[in-house]
Amino acid sequence: MHGLIGKMLAAAGKRDEVIAILLESTAKMPGCLSYVIAIDPKEADAIWITEVWDSKESHAASLTLPEVKAAIAKARPMIAGFGDYHTTEPVGGVGISQG
**pTM above the 0.85 mark?**
yes
Q: For 23-48, what is each residue's pLDDT tens digit?
A: 887 667 899 999 999 999 999 999 99
Distance in angstroms (rounded) separating the CA atoms of residues 14 and 78: 6
Q: Find the helix or strand (DSSP H, E) in which 24 lies.
A: helix 15-24
Supply the CATH classification number for the domain 2-49+56-82.
3.30.70.100
Between CA 67 and CA 23, with CA 52 as vertex, the angle to 5 degrees is 35
Q: For 57-96, what is each residue's pLDDT tens digit?
A: 999 999 999 988 998 899 999 999 999 999 999 998 877 6
